[in-house]
A and B are shown apart, each in its own frame.
Chain A
Amino acid sequence: MAATVTQQPQKLVLLTGDSWGMLACLCTVLWHLPAVPALNRTGDPGPGPSIQKTYDLTRYLEHQLRSLAGTYLNYLGPPFNEPDFNPPRLGAETLPRATVNLDVWQNLSDKLRLTQNYEAYSHLLCYLRGLNRQAATAELRRSLAHFCTSLQGLLGSIAGVMAALGYPLPQPLPGTEPTWSPDPAHSDFLQKMDDFWLLKELQTWLWRSAKDFNRLKKKMQPPAAAVTLRLEAHGF
């Protein structure tokens, strides 16, 4: 996009042959350079592809998490791997909650929505890495590491979307940096509960993100037909 913007003034320069004009044009170009993202936003391709990519990645991660969670919950043993196991969320207070009231969610701005996503995944990624460190079997560690890499990709993707839309990345407040360290007073059982909740929240977040990005995508790409077509093509 930036290239197209700069080419037209150059042609103009050639036509005029005026050095002052050329200077003026260059100045204009320079003047417009900071506005390029804004142009992008309003422009046709815009952030649509990157949102689409993020959406796709979310769906992929959702799919990936399904197999990972199965493996991990089996590792935790019964009753964690029972299908109707639904313990109250007692521990795991530090985990970012994905559940949100529909009205609240609808009233969120795009920026806030993206920021929440970004923050949530940064936290979840950190916890997930901790999970990886304590896993007892090598195979589990491998699949966790693989998922972490994917999640890192999603985080980067969200950051890309935010940058494309011109939103600043949320800066973690000093001291609130999520650090995963196994609480010595934390019993193994509570740790398992935390792990369970981490996976559950991760899943809910991925669902929510898919919804978020879908909404964002619709907003950015008016032709809805194209969007649905793509969705179908990528339906996981």
Chain B
Amino acid sequence: MASKKVDSTGDSTSSKVEDEKPIKVDKWDGSAVKNALDDAVKKVFTEKYKYVENHWLMDGRLIICTVAVGAAMFALLWDYLHPFPESRPILIFCVLSYFVLMGVLTLYTTFLEKGIFLIALMKDPAGVDPDNTWTASSSLKRFDDTYHLVLEFTDAKTKSTRDVKLSKSISCWFDENGTLLFDLFEPEVCKLHNSLLAEKKNK
């Protein structure tokens, strides 16, 4: 699993951010807007704070989907080689397992993922203590303009979790053409991030 390459010098990082074209989406397409904002949050966490992204949640979903598609392709191949009705038992097995996997996938997405799009690990600089985990989840209801972002911080030592919420209209960060104004969005994300860190110090 390749982790994101991290630039140690500040100069090359900032020039990379300038080189990237600002994200432009169709402002009326809710899912495109949400994806653009989620990508921006990911960018803040991985590039600015240099956290390492943990992909296990997404990987689980990919594995379930791959097995399901594999079952379907196997059924197709088997039926092609041994025409119906000899293939009947295999077909029954594949069809049932496909729909069971679809059910599993739905449960996985509803209960395990719950809108989480980012899990990042904050490595301890001393390298001694276990990593703290940042979890970001978001939601944007259909035809609604309020973007809800929830940042969660799990302290590995105390195993306690704190979260902070942000609910704002997407019009604050997108201009008329649908271009995401990263410079307006980034400080808000950083503010949330720092508030969670500050709470930790206060405890």
A, B co-complexed = no
